[in-house]
Structure 1
């Protein structure tokens, strides 16, 4: 039940991320920053892709994904279509990895220390879902403020 709910939430918010990117009238603005907006929507998108592919794909799904976190914030001008393709691929990776977990696994300890202390799978997966939603909200405001 929890795994099915997490799959729904990750797919919902990753699909919303695609919709948000498609809503930009000017594709170049995806990479814009301004005043107190330090991260572009494109870099936040790459960050979310890297985050989910690392902590769900590589760790749970054993995909072999290797993260370059610095590149998530330094890469620029990747096309909207390529970003969307990466998000679509991430949706598949997340679903396939979560399918490998049982409900009982969720109560066991997530193997990596990522936060300030070890957590259960369920705690960490809820954290990842809220992290996705947080940055999705930032991207929504980025578009509303800069894509005018």
Structure 2
């Protein structure tokens, strides 16, 4: 597999096979109240982070790479205080990730150096995808941390076998359903 094609395949795998399933599993363990809990006004709730991830991935990949008009309202992602139910948040985020995955599936690796405008910046297609995936991973980690903090439990995404951590999160080969 060529480098560009491998980059696109791995980006899709991280979004759909690693980050999204872990976020879903973590959110399932939270109460509705804990989904919108925030330690202080300078910090985000899991709900706000999920809305933010959906907005960001749509802006950077669906719009920036895929060419769909950008309708993002970034400040609304963080300002929301009237809680949406967890299942609605999961549906919003899942839909955004699947839209991004469809764009990545049809992205030509030969165009990874093409320039495009996202958030008022000129970036390459590769930079837009790389940013969106690393940004998603950063906030996924925050969501998982909050879930562990609020439930006081390990999320159980890895099992040690002969001292080697093996992935067992839902949707991962060898993981749960």
Scaled by the length of structure 2, the TM-score of the pair is 0.73
Aligned to 1:50: 55
Q: Which has the higher contact order (CA 8 A, sep 6+)?
A: 1
Residue of structure 2 in register with 1:66 after alignment = 71
Question: Could you tell me how far apart the structure 2 residues matched to 1:124 and 1:91 are?
Answer: 15
Question: TM-score of the superposition, structure 1-length normalised?
Answer: 0.86
Per-residue displacement from partner, 1:70-106 (whole Å, max 9, x unpaired)?
Answer: 1101113110010111122112201111123101111
CA RMSD of aligned residues (A): 2.0
Checking the alignment, whether the CA contact within 8 Å between 1:61 and 1:93 is kept in structure 2 is no
Structure number with the higher helix fraction is 1
| In structure 2, C-alpha distance between the alignment counterparts of 1:132 and 1:90, rounded to whole Å | 12
State the Cα deviation string for residues 5-47 of structure 1 (Å, max 9, x = none).
11111112122211221121x2211101114861111101110
Describe the SS at the equivalent of 1:112. strand
Q: Which has the larger radius of gyration?
A: 2
Alignment partner, residue 45 of structure 2: 40
Which consecutive residues of structure 2, in runs of 5 or more, have no partner in the other structure?
153-177
Q: 1:120 aligns with which of 124, 131, 137?
A: 124
